[in-house]
A and B are shown apart, each in its own frame.
Chain A
Amino acid sequence: MSEHQEQEMEGGLSRRQFVSAGAAVAVGAVLAPGVFLHSVAQARSPAEGASNYQRWGLLIDTNKCRTGCDDCVSACKKENGWGNEQVRDEQKVQWIRKVDLKEHHTGREVSLPMMCQHCAEPPCVDVCPTGASFKRADGIVLVDKHICIGCRYCMMACPYKARSFVHEDVIHGDAYMPRGKGTVESCTLCVHRVDKGQNPACVESCKEKAMTFGDLNDPKSEIAQRVSQYATRQIRADLKLNPGVRYEGI
């Protein structure tokens, strides 16, 4: 749609109304037979692969996150079957953890969940010698445990301490999140749920609604609208990794 048309419409409609009205047209816009400008974000058939039309992201509102609450951590453990390992404390598996921060000058305390930040430029992928650590087209950073040799370079490269190593045999049972001794693992953004159009388990579990999951590339999505309107922060933005997980209120 041209700039001229946009200016014309702005008289009668707000920017938001204009975007939502225009999006209906945009979804149907055809470049060539079978090639669409925009596809509907969440409804993907099992045969259709992850595409870079989407960039999955997570927005965490630390103003809503309660100190002492670990519902997201429990939900992740339950969903992905970690946390029951019989190992020393130093070797404990940790896909997601709660971090409490306090600003010394003002005494303000905040609590936030910390997990794989699903960077656009992931250092874990850069250092992996086998290609096991990789970024999917839709921005989800994963470990292919079939080719992971357990060298743990990625664990050292990650500035967020997001990855864990499986030191002992695991009692497996979940068909959608297999885990194995001798491999590295981390938050998958519940990729098995996302592929079905569901939210990650942590997002579903948060009673305070402090976590918003969605497609950062879709201007209609709640997450994209919120990051465009409110001040949000990337942790260690100085590293220029462009994480998919953003925080509000820190």
Chain B
Amino acid sequence: MMTAQHALRAFLTLVLAGWVTASAVAEVAHPVIPKGKGERCVADTSVMRRNHMQLLKHQRDETMHNGIRTERFSLVGCMNCHAYVNSQPVSIKDERHFCNVCHQYAAVKIDCFECHASTPQPVSAAVAPEAHP
């Protein structure tokens, strides 16, 4: 049978555990996301946050297998707008890189840049950019 003293000890342990957990979470700084170069993104921020990987993968297959080279969801297009910190181009090696900031926070490894360029690229004049909505 639990005495009042036991109950108090259990209660205090729980409170303490909760406090320690809360403080540990608070210690991880929220990511500071660098602002893109353009006026606005190719889709709403909420859509991009949740779906950017599917959009990129879809575009990847369309370009690779079908030769569709629209710019809206192309990785080059992303980099040309987002791979800047304070108007200076940065590569994925920089921890302030747009992709790095969130991916490090969420501890999700990206392997795009083992092959692809992570810096802004000169856009050939021959490719007419598709108008963003």
Contact = CB atoms under 8 A, between A and B. Distances in A.
Contacts of A47: 68, 70, 130
A196 B126 contact: yes
B90 interface: no
Contacts of A136: 65-67
A137 B70 CA distance: 18
Contacts of B124: 196
Nearest to A50: B67
A88 B52 CA distance: 40
Interface in A150-205: 170, 172-176, 178-181, 191-192, 195-198
A46 B127 contact: yes
A144 B130 contact: no
Interface residues of B, number: 23
Nearest to B69: A46
Given A174-B117, A179-B115, A191 B67 contact: yes
Contacts of B68: 46-49
Given A175-B121, A197-B126, A198-B126, A50 B66 contact: yes
B92 to A, nearest CB: 11
Interface string A125-147: 00000000010111000101110
Contact of B116 (A46, A175, A192, A195): A175
A51 B117 CA distance: 28
B114 interface: yes
Interface string A229-249: 000000000000000000000
Contact of A173 (B70, B117, B128): B117
A142 to B, nearest CB: 7
Interface of B: 60, 62, 64-71, 75-76, 79, 114-117, 121, 124, 126-128, 130
Nearest 7 A/B pairs, CB to CB:
A180-B115, A50-B67, A175-B121, A49-B66, A178-B115, A196-B126, A46-B69
19 contacts: A49-B62, A49-B67, A49-B68, A50-B66, A145-B115, A146-B64, A172-B115, A173-B117, A174-B117, A175-B79, A175-B121, A178-B116, A179-B115, A180-B114, A180-B115, A196-B69, A196-B124, A196-B126, A197-B126
